[in-house]
Homo-oligomer: A and B are copies of this chain.
Amino acid sequence: MAGSTFGRLLSVTTFGESHGPAIGVIVDGVPAGMALAAEDIQRELNRRRPGQSAITTPRSEKDRVEILSGVFEGLTMGTPISLLIRNEEKKSADYEPLKDVFRPGHADYTYQAKFGVRDWRGGGRSSGRETAARVAAGAVAKKLLALRGVSILGYSLEIAGIRAARVDPAEIERNPARAPDAEAAALMVTAIEEARAAGDSVGGIAEVVASGCPAGLGDPVFDKLEALLAHAIMSVGAVRGVEVGAGFAVSGMRGSAYNDVQYVEEGRMRTRTNNAGGIAGGISTGGDIVVRAAIRPPASISLPQTAVDASGSTTTIQIGGRHDPCIVPRAIPVLEAMVALVLADSLLVQEAYVRNGVRPVRP
């Protein structure tokens, strides 16, 4: 209720401040009997970890995960899986000069207004570090989905206004921008480096595609699949917009162009276009589910900025430290995790009803 828990049958509860002893997550509701090892989770955490490339923060957090419960003899037990990541290489002293200042673009003021107290060391609970716990949980969800033939692929569609012209899955992990288009990637990297050199930062758009989902996931009305996805994705710190399918482009479309024409191929319903993003009436169609997230430029920049301090006075600050000039590439595994959590949860919910009701009829 205080916002640290998400999900229905598959629920995750996270904890931790960026400069506290540890962060972590409890994943409850994972079916018993699934093979799971720390390595499955570590692999995903490594994709989010700082210091991966020249265009991310040089901070070197190891983010080693420990499984504290829920797994025995290599198998999930049906009991809550607790994943712990100790915080290392914390440089809290870096933040001390700004402890009484509300940094622009950060949550310093709103946390102070809400709670009356605030962990000023690196953003505390509002830090992007919190997303490591999501990635850890998402790794479990991805494993569950993979067993059912569902795969999740994320990439940087646009950075600093530069948009990928094609989607080549093989290219994504080859370039530090995590863009699916080598040429666009090169331009993106240049734009990021220019921004950093200028003491500034840039934003972008990430796209996540889920393939292999059965038709029938999601529920009418408030738990439409796109509503659950929007909730999940918009809960990631830097996101300011979410789209499915044609997204904001629908404003300029007519119904005759928007409506995806259906056809049957090899006994399966398909569509010629995918303006609906794989979801109709809140329920998955069986086609690719396509979502996009608008990711703002990071708030921590080294340019001088005007700020207000706790006494209400205006001051000029300069934020030191080692920050990401663009968060989009490192946000990809986080967004994939959120999509995976929603889909795995929806799969479990759907199975409950399918088994207890009539079988789906497909043309």
Q: Could you tell me if B240 and A78 are in contact, using CB atoms closer than 8 angstroms?
A: no
Q: How many monomers of this chain does the complex have?
A: 4
Q: Chain A: interface secondary structure?
A: mixed
**Is A97 an interface residue when CB atoms closer than 8 A count as contact?**
no
In the bound complex, residues from chain B placing their C-beta under 8 Å from that of A160 are 251-252
Q: Could you tell me if B305 and A261 are in contact, using CB atoms closer than 8 angstroms?
A: yes
In the bound complex, residues from chain B placing their C-beta under 8 Å from that of A298 are 255
Interface centre among A7, A11, A195, A220 (most CB of B within 10 A): A220
Q: Could you tell me if A357 and B33 are in contact, using CB atoms closer than 8 angstroms?
A: yes
**Is A93 an interface residue when CB atoms closer than 8 A count as contact?**
no
User: A251 vs B241: C-alpha distance in the bound complex, in angstroms?
Assistant: 10
Q: Could you tell me if B205 and A349 are in contact, using CB atoms closer than 8 angstroms?
A: no
Query: Given A68-B21, A242-B242, A251-B160, A306–B234 Cβ distance below 8 Å?
Result: no
**Is A60 an interface residue when CB atoms closer than 8 A count as contact?**
no
Query: Given A110-B215, A202-B254, A352-B349, A230–B242 Cβ distance below 8 Å?
Result: yes
Q: Could you tell me if A72 and B227 are in contact, using CB atoms closer than 8 angstroms?
A: no
Q: In chain A between 279 and 320, which residues have their CB closer than 8 angstroms to a CB of chain B?
A: 279-286, 294-301, 303, 305-312, 314
Q: Could you tell me if B17 and A276 are in contact, using CB atoms closer than 8 angstroms?
A: no
User: A97 vs B315: C-alpha distance in the bound complex, in angstroms?
Assistant: 68
- Of B221, B262, B350, which one neighbours A307 at CB under 8 angstroms? B262
Q: Could you tell me if A144 and B200 are in contact, using CB atoms closer than 8 angstroms?
A: no
Interface centre among A67, A144, A264, A363 (most CB of B within 10 A): A363
User: A327 vs B235: C-alpha distance in the bound complex, in angstroms?
Assistant: 28
In the bound complex, residues from chain B placing their C-beta under 8 Å from that of A280 are 105-107, 109-110
User: A232 vs B222: C-alpha distance in the bound complex, in angstroms?
Assistant: 7
- Of B33, B76, B161, B294, which one neighbours A243 at CB under 8 angstroms? B294
In the bound complex, residues from chain B placing their C-beta under 8 Å from that of A76 are 117, 357
User: A336 vs B42: C-alpha distance in the bound complex, in angstroms?
Assistant: 39
In the bound complex, residues from chain B placing their C-beta under 8 Å from that of A258 are 105, 203, 296-297, 299
**Is A138 an interface residue when CB atoms closer than 8 A count as contact?**
no
**Is A28 an interface residue when CB atoms closer than 8 A count as contact?**
yes
Q: In chain A between 214 and 228, which residues have their CB closer than 8 angstroms to a CB of chain B?
A: 215-216, 218-224, 226-228
Chain B residue nearest in CB terms to A224? B235
Chain B residue nearest in CB terms to A32? B115
In the bound complex, residues from chain B placing their C-beta under 8 Å from that of A195 are 254-255
Chain B residue nearest in CB terms to A297? B255
**Is A88 an interface residue when CB atoms closer than 8 A count as contact?**
no
**Is A130 an interface residue when CB atoms closer than 8 A count as contact?**
yes
User: A169 vs B118: C-alpha distance in the bound complex, in angstroms?
Assistant: 38
Q: A4-B222, A104-B259, A106-B281 are in contact. List 13 more A-B contacts (CB 8 A).
A: A4-B220, A15-B28, A107-B280, A115-B358, A160-B252, A222-B231, A222-B235, A235-B282, A242-B243, A246-B296, A262-B306, A267-B312, A347-B356
A sample of 7 cross-chain residue pairs with beta-carbon separation below 8 angstroms, ordered by A number, consists of: A33-B357, A113-B362, A160-B251, A250-B294, A262-B306, A308-B363, A347-B356
